[in-house]
Amino acid sequence: MPNRIPVVEKILSANDRLAAENRARFDAAGVFAINIMASPGAGKTSLIEKTVAALKDRLRIGMINGDIATSFDADRAAAAGAAAVQINTGGDCHLDAVMLQSALPQLDLSALDLVIVENVGNLVCPAEFALGTHKSILVASIPEGDDKPYKYPGMYRGVDAVVINKIDLLPYVPFRLDFFKKGIEALNPGVTQFELSCRTGEGLEPWLNWLLAQA
Ligand code: MG
Ligand code: ZN
């Protein structure tokens, strides 16, 4: 398929242009924006819930949730105290800059300090599509297995931080933390990492402090 690569490149460069526009809107409003990516079930929404609940008195937080079909996750973020907007991707397996752009008018950016974008649960293509957020965070979790950095290198390579969630399950699941971290280190040397459990609350403090320092 000789035409395939140029077409993909064109789509990605159009996406990058829109991502730059999104970034400019965040910057003009003084908003810090993050893109949270993970496989389904890793705990993106749980992390957002805990983060909003812990920081809502210090930061005005908005949340944009990309979901294929439901609004459960946006509802959870709203219940935790965020201004939440739902993007129904209509079956698409990732968010892109144009979807984010179409959602932004639903948030009053001038009244927010932090915008958290929850990407579609998927470990393959979300990393390919810049959204215009300032930082990308990958949430991994113990039950997914310790081979994920080796199997999905594209997702680990470009992110600014990796959150390893569900560490309370380490005693019950075969998971070599050293092997996992070695895989991350090879792809993204020195990347910021957090080990935590949204369920028990263990390890959340360093993540919250990092986010506060960024925002
Ligand atoms: Mg979710
Ligand atoms: Zn996709």
Query: What was the pLDDT predicted at 6?
Result: 76
Tokens of 146: 């310790």
Q: Residue 1 pLDDT more than 90? A: no
Query: What was the pLDDT predicted at 58?
Result: 96
Distance 21 CA to ligand 1 centre (A): 26
Mind spelling out the 3-state secondary structure of 129-193?
A: CCCCCCEEEEEEEHHHCCCHHHHCHHHHHCCCEEEEECHHHCCCCCCCHHHHHHHHHHHCCCCEE
Distance 104 CA to ligand 2 centre (A): 20
Q: Which ligand gives the minimal distance to the CA of 47?
A: 1
Query: What was the pLDDT predicted at 49?
Result: 96
Query: What was the pLDDT predicted at 185?
Result: 97
Query: How far is Cα of residue 75 from the mean position of the Cα atoms in its chain?
Result: 17
d(CA 32, CA 13): 23
Entry pTM: 0.93
CATH fold for the domain made of 7-214? Rossmann fold (3.40.50)
Q: List CB-based neighbours of ion ligand 2 within 5 Å.
A: 93-94, 125
d(CA 171, CA 11): 45
CB count, 10 Å around CB of 124? 13
Average pLDDT over residues 179-206: 98
- Ranges of each domain in the chain: 7-214
